Structure 1
Amino acid sequence: MGQKVNPIGFRTGVMLDWKSRWYASKKDFAELLIEDQKIRKYVHAKYKFAGIPKVEIERTRDEVKVILYAARPGVIIGRKGTEVEQLQDELQALVGRRINIKIEEVGRPELQAQLVAEDIAEQLVKRAGFRRTMKRAMEQTMEAGAKGIKIQLAGRLGGAEMARREKQISGSIPLSTLRAKIDYGIVEAKTAQGHIGIQVWINQGMFEDQADGADAQEGQTQKKPKRSYKR
């Protein structure tokens, strides 16, 4: 099951929040979903080197709030915020709604599976050895504090005639444990020999318990005192 289920989709709605947070009627739902996809595709295509692992979208009646998580936010912001204003205008022209952009910095890019996968893809396009690239990425991620990492490459590795699949695992990757914070990223490296698929799983630890301590304490049943029997 762990190989066939997207770890993020598996935990969304249970341990993870949704990346698109809005409500729409049945007739408008498909249109707004396509708008979200257009926004994400445009942002990723324009800022390939900004290191954007995810884009969250919130909608109100008046505007669309786009939250960009970036490892290098300076690339998006630009000098005196001119790039942000330009991006805001371009997105407004793209979807025809008022856009509000918020940028959040990613603290440790080595722990973001999508960014690790993109880094591996970039190295493979530059004709780096795939085993050395995988090993270096795993070492950097484990040094950054990850509990485990799994990398899988598929395609004509090393320019071989026949496509094959290779994977390396370090540490613990409990894919079926919902409380485990597993990040997942997938990228295609467009090499001269053909496309190589790159999948990365990173175990960032465990989700913190979300139960309210006071409520949990009130909900407990009181222990009855032990009955004393007289002889």
Structure 2
Amino acid sequence: KYFIKEGMKEAQIEEFLKNKFRAGYSHIDIQRTPLGTRIIVHANRPGLVIGRSGSRIKEITEQIEKKFELNPMVDVREIENPFLDSQIVAGKIAKSLERGGFYKKIANYYLKEIMRAGAIGVEIKIAGKMGGQRGRSQKFKDGYIKHYYADNVLDRGKAIATVKLGTIGVQVSIMKPEDVSMALKE
């Protein structure tokens, strides 16, 4: 029961922070220490997360303290290569779709950028109403993607774009170079 409750709390904190930091947010790591809970936010642009002289971080820390009854210490870390982080890429694709870009052009652009960043393989799935009354799904692939044992090898990210016709779901799977060397050792 205790572990389930803690897992639920972590998922709620993740959801809360995802809604707060829309721009360039990737994921969080939660570490429990004797002094309190350390929350490490991985973001593309840490300046937006921190705010002017740390005002936004202080505000978020207070909200987490009240809402989840924790003693949080929030750290922000920058992601070195944002094109190798699937959650950030999915968010960028969703934002481009919301601005009214054509989905094939957007997907092919990000496909090339991810491969140029050093990924071994990438798959982008876009599904929803992309012009016309019917919804459809489209897959864009490049490089090598291993679907078997995919949980420990693939980095997956999801985002939702809200457009005039409805919602469009974006899924990005990236096979990073370091992930392959880990998988081969097993």
Contact 2:118 2:177 in 1 (8 A): no
Matched residues in 2 for 1:179 and 1:155: separation? 25
- Are the structure 2 counterparts of residues 178 and 206 from structure 1 closer, same or farther at C-alpha, using a change threshold of 3 Å? farther
2:15 pairs with 1:30: no
Distance 1:112 1:98, change over 3 A: same
Report the AA paired with residue 52 of structure 2.
R
Distance in 2 separating the partners of 1:29 and 1:180? 22
1:168 counterpart letter in structure 2? F
Which among 111, 133, 141 is matched to residue 106 of structure 2? 133
> Are positions 1:102 and 2:70 aligned together?
no
- Identify the residue that residue 44 of structure 1 maps to in structure 2: 18
One-letter amino acid of the structure 1 residue matched with residue 15 of structure 2: K
Q: Which runs of 5+ in 1 are unaligned?
A: 1-25, 211-231
Q: TM-score, normalised by structure 2?
A: 0.89
Partner in structure 1 of residue 154 of structure 2:
182
Aligned counterparts of 2:11 and 2:108: Cα–Cα separation in 1: 33
Q: Which runs of 5+ in 2 are unaligned?
A: none
Secondary structure at 2:153's aligned position in 1? strand
Distance 1:83 1:180 in 2: 34
- Which of 92, 115, 120 aligns to 2:88? It is 115
Displacement of 1:163 in angstroms is 1.4
Partners of 1:137 and 1:182 lie apart in 2 by 17
Q: Identity over aligned residues, as a percent?
A: 26
Say if 1:152 and 1:133 are closer, same or farther in 2 by CA, change over 3 A: same
**Residue identity matched to 2:17:** V
Aligned pair count reads: 182
Q: Which has the higher helix share?
A: 2
Counterpart pick for 1:55 among 28, 35, 55: 28
| Equivalent position SS for 2:147 | coil
Distance of 1:169 and 1:209 partners within structure 2: 22
Q: Secondary structure at the match of 1:135?
A: helix
The letter for the 1-side match of 2:106 is T
Residue 179 to residue 58, structure 1, CA distance change in 2 (3 Å): closer
Displacement of 1:62 in angstroms is 4.4
Aligned position for 1:148? 121
1:63-121 C-alpha deviation (Å, 9 max, x unpaired): 11111101101112223323222221121111112111121110111111111111111
In 2: Cα distance, 1:184 partner to 1:110 partner: 13
Separation (CA, whole Å) in 1 of partners of 2:157 and 2:45: 18
Distance 2:63 2:81 in 1: 29
The residue type equivalent to 1:160 in the other structure is: G
Q: Following TM superposition, by how much is the alpha carbon of 1:194 offset from its aligned partner in structure 2, in angstroms? A: 1.0
Alignment map for 1:198-209 (pairs within 5 Å): 198-207=170-179, 208=181
From the CA coordinates, give the structure whose radius of gyration is larger: 1
